[in-house]
Amino acid sequence: MKSKKPITIVTGFLGSGKTTLLSRLPVGTEGVAVLVNEFGEVGLDHHLLRRVNERTTLLGNGCVCCTRREDLVESLLELLSMESGGEVRELRRVVVETSGLADPAPILFTIFEHPVLRHHFEIDRVVATVDAVNGNLHLDANPESTKQVSAADFVVLTKRDLATETEAHALETRLQNVNPAARILHSGDDINALFDHDVTVRDAPEAPSDPHSGGTDSVSLTFDGAVDWAAFGVWLSMLLHARGEEVLRVKGMLDVGETGPVILNGVQHTIHPPDHLDEWPDGMRGSRLVFITRGVAAGEILASLEAFAGLLGASPLALRAVEAPDADR
């Protein structure tokens, strides 16, 4: 069977450099479709460039992240039919740009729930751009910005040349604290890697040096043994039902006593279909999970897992940062 087509989501606050990042997409990349929010000054001369007007349908249960992006469904179905009709030779990847105020969760939800799309596409990674000059301001003032960073697998620090070294460094530490699971890149780095399927995003999350950063809390944890997958699924789905909007992100890998780990990745209520691997990446066996929460203390998550230890078959252990080099922000 043909594997699913990867989707890269590019998100970031207003003016944080999403479009600039897209315009640096390797020119002439064949089979890469780009769905943008508005035609700005993107120098993308591309017949696979589509404009989508954000159009959402709120589903019955009324939760904001469980909204369906109809515009996106239409565009992606159109791309699929273009491919099967031979207008496009091979669709290799789709890049979706969100608007600056968008919460990326509905996009993930749309793809995972749609009866056709979920068999053809997978969300490969979420890239968030953060402005090195105004990033701190955005994180302080706008909950959307924090959501975008929490949802990201890669954070690209843009306009680095306009910020002082200390500013940029402090922001970088803050971002790593908000989302210990993300890899931080600079816009000067080779961004091709962001759109390349071979680059793995399955890094083990780092323990945050200062987990209480900017209104969010995060905890990195492991377990003292293999975890019962059924019990973990029950615990997590129960947590997300009760506290979905307060749990911004769950990411990591879980030792469920099989030959490889289960890769877990969730943004608010939306969980990627868990991927059961055949072997452990870099041969290191052991669960590593990160929770990013807002309004729920990391300690509560640990206490809950501890109380569920009898069902889970293992007890949680919080991972502490080995060193906190930039704690004096």
Partner 1 sequence: MCVLCGEFVSGPHWTDRNHEDAVRAGSISEGEYQTLRRRGRIGRAGVVSAVLKHYGLKLDEWSGARYVLRNKKGRTEIVGDLSGVWTAAEKMLGFAPDPLDMSLLEKMRT
In the bound complex, what is the minimum distance in angstroms from residue 307's beta carbon to partner 1? 4
Strand partners of residue 282: none
Strands (E) across 29-182 are located at 32-36, 49-51, 56-58, 67-69, 93-97, 121-131, 154-158
In the bound complex, what is the minimum distance in angstroms from residue 189's beta carbon to partner 1? 32
Nearer to partner 1 among residue 13 and residue 291 (C-beta): 291
In the bound complex, what is the minimum distance in angstroms from residue 266's beta carbon to partner 1? 8
In the bound complex, what is the minimum distance in angstroms from residue 290's beta carbon to partner 1? 17
DSSP alpha helix (H) spans, 128-224: 135-141, 143-151, 165-178
Smallest CA-to-CA distance from 172 within 189, 161, 190, 160 is with 160
Nearer to partner 1 among residue 55 and residue 276 (C-beta): 276
Nearer to partner 1 among residue 95 and residue 107 (C-beta): 107
Distances (CA, A) of 59 to 52, 64, 147, 282: 20, 9, 21, 41
In the bound complex, what is the minimum distance in angstroms from residue 58's beta carbon to partner 1? 15
Smallest CA-to-CA distance from 155 within 170, 172, 140 is with 172
Which H or E run contains 221? strand 216-223
Which H or E run contains 8? strand 5-12
In the bound complex, what is the minimum distance in angstroms from residue 238's beta carbon to partner 1? 5
Footprint of partner 1 on this chain (CB under 8 A)? 1, 61, 112-115, 118, 228-231, 233-235, 237-239, 241-243, 262, 271-276, 296, 300-301, 303-304, 307-308, 310-311
HSE-CB for 219 with a 13 A CA cutoff: 18
Nearer to partner 1 among residue 203 and residue 228 (C-beta): 228
Q: How many CB atoms lie within 10 A of CB 329?
A: 14
Nearer to partner 1 among residue 46 and residue 243 (C-beta): 243
Nearer to partner 1 among residue 156 and residue 227 (C-beta): 227
